[in-house]
Amino acid sequence: MENNINRSQQNRFFISSLVSFALLFAILGLVVLTLFKTVIYNNVDHDLTLNKTMLTQASEAPSINQPDQSQFSTMMPRRFIGANNAPFRTNLLVFNANGKLLNKASLGDRFDLLSNIKLNKKHLNQIQNYYANQGSSFRALLIKVPKSSPNFIYAGKYVLILENTDSERIAVQSFQTVLIIAMLIFWVISILLSYFLSKRNMRPILKSWNQQKEFVYDAAHELRTPLTIIQNKMEYMLTKPNSKIIDESESIATSLSEITRLEQLTNNLLVLARSDSNTNVLKPETINPQTFFRTILEPFRAIALSQNKEFNFQNDLKSELYFDPNQIKELIIILIDNSLKYTDTGDSINIRIKKHKNNWLFSIIDTGTGIKDKNQVFDRFFREEKSRNRKTGGSGLGLSIASVIVKNHHGRIWIEDNQPKGSIVNIEIPLRSVKP
């Protein structure tokens, strides 16, 4: 079931990535092709406009009252004249108001090529595409030469200026073919890339999913243990309804101890849940480091002495700090409590507090059993004691909460080996970790 869900999620990632790449390539190809067509036809359109200007502003031609068709050849601008069978780039079709072609003779063999082009007054002063016989393509501009034009050859006539665009059309078709091939190649690459990305995107999801399952399992295990003990003690006391409280004080004390442990565990879970949802609210204050750290650390000296352990601390901080005192206090208690749990009789715990650049550095140096899995030690419910010994193992949430507190104050926490044995836990937090 779980594998089917993971495979379905990966398939969704794969399809979404593939569709995204396909749309991206299609839009990119369309934009590039459009820009290419625009650029390549700009020169043709410019020539059409230039020819229009030459025709409408031509100098006065010799006065001929009744010109025959051959005069269109002699009176045309030089750029339009060529041998009848010569390849051409630009040509003119001159029509009267009724749509009759007036310069048929001057066209020669080109007439057969252009015979299907008729006058369409709706396209006046508009650049259009025309397709002549034999598959030739043209860009055309239809103009009407004013009757007042000094050039009687074109005065009052409709002139269709034709620019042959066979070479441009072939260039566009070739470019389009190359573009399609390139898009197909990149689309195949995108299939492979989408598959790779879908698998890569699933890794953090699967990791988070597995961590969540493990977290739920461990949380249920931790909650079940004190609940089971409380239930057993309560059921035991129900079997002795006539007993006095003093007779059942041990069962009551055990139940209260488990209730306290259960309360602490639920509070820890709440802290981690708030961290996951980014709803932890800091209440920073200006702190005197000498008073603050001495108040927290002094009680631990007595605890360490009662366990025949050496406990020393040195605080070199003089300037005021700015942080959330409740969270930092909880952080220090968690770390020192761990040091006390994982040191034996005769071991030492030394604490150094000092300024380091724009940060304050808090180091706990002990000669205990040390920590092997330094990368995993901040994971939730992780403990090197697999047996989950309640006396030293705790719930496995302490260092996870410590890491969250340090992160909330924009600091960092790391662990080093202490030679010849033991460990060094370092905390580095900015002097003003949060803005006032």
Between 89 and 342, the higher pLDDT residue: 342
Please tell me the predicted confidence (pLDDT) of residue 82.
38
Cα(33)–Cα(27) distance, rounded to whole angstroms?
A: 10
Cα(153)–Cα(58) distance, rounded to whole angstroms?
A: 10
Which are the contacts of 129, defined by CB distance < 8 A and separation ≥ 6? Answer: 137, 138, 139, 140, 165
Between 249 and 366, the higher pLDDT residue: 366
Within a 10 A sphere around the Cβ of 139, how many other Cβ atoms?
Answer: 19
Decide if pLDDT at 9 tops 90: no
The pLDDT tens digits for 173-207 are 899 899 889 888 888 888 888 888 877 877 777 77
Q: What share of the chain is helix, strand, coil (3-state, %, to 5)?
A: 50, 15, 30
Cα(29)–Cα(16) distance, rounded to whole angstroms?
A: 20
Q: Where are the alpha helices (DSSP H) in 279-433?
A: 289-306, 325-341, 398-408
The pLDDT tens digits for 114-131 are 777 888 888 888 888 877
Amino acid making up residue 31: V
| CA within 13 Å, CB half, 390 | 11
Full DSSP string of 330-358:
HHHHHHHHHHHHT--TT-EEEEEEEEETT
The pLDDT tens digits for 295-318 are 999 999 989 999 999 999 999 998
Decide if pLDDT at 230 tops 70: yes
Tokens of 65: 């009252």
Confidence band, pLDDT 50/70/90 cuts, at residue 424: very high
- The fraction of the chain above a pLDDT of 70, given in percent, is 82
Closest listed residue to residue 325, CA positions, set 291, 350, 301: 291
Closest listed residue to residue 160, CA positions, set 233, 93, 105, 254: 93
Between 91 and 75, the higher pLDDT residue: 91
- The fraction of the chain above a pLDDT of 90, given in percent, is 18
The pLDDT tens digits for 138-163 are 888 888 888 777 777 777 888 888 88
Confidence band, pLDDT 50/70/90 cuts, at residue 5: low
Give mean pLDDT, residues 241-254. 84
Cα(71)–Cα(81) distance, rounded to whole angstroms?
A: 12
**Mean pLDDT score across all residues of the chain:** 79
Cα(361)–Cα(317) distance, rounded to whole angstroms?
A: 9
- The helix (H) or strand (E) run that includes residue 184 is helix 166-238
- Which of 15-29, 48-62, 392-406 has the weakest average pLDDT? 48-62
Distances (CA, A) of 181 to 26, 169, 186, 194: 12, 18, 9, 20
- Which of 42-56, 120-134, 262-276, 411-425 has the weakest average pLDDT? 262-276
* pTM of the predicted model as reported, rounded to 2 decimal places: 0.51
Beta strand spans in 54-197 (E):
90-95, 127-131, 137-144, 158-164
Please tell me the predicted confidence (pLDDT) of residue 365.
94
Please provide the size of the chain in residues.
Answer: 436
Cα(317)–Cα(42) distance, rounded to whole angstroms?
A: 75
Cα(404)–Cα(278) distance, rounded to whole angstroms?
A: 10
Give mean pLDDT, residues 342-371. 91
Q: Is 366 helix (H, G, I), strand (E, B) or coil?
A: strand
Distances (CA, A) of 170 to 67, 166, 175: 40, 6, 8
Cβ pair 142, 123 in contact under 8 A: yes
| Greatest pairwise CA separation for the chain in angstroms | 141
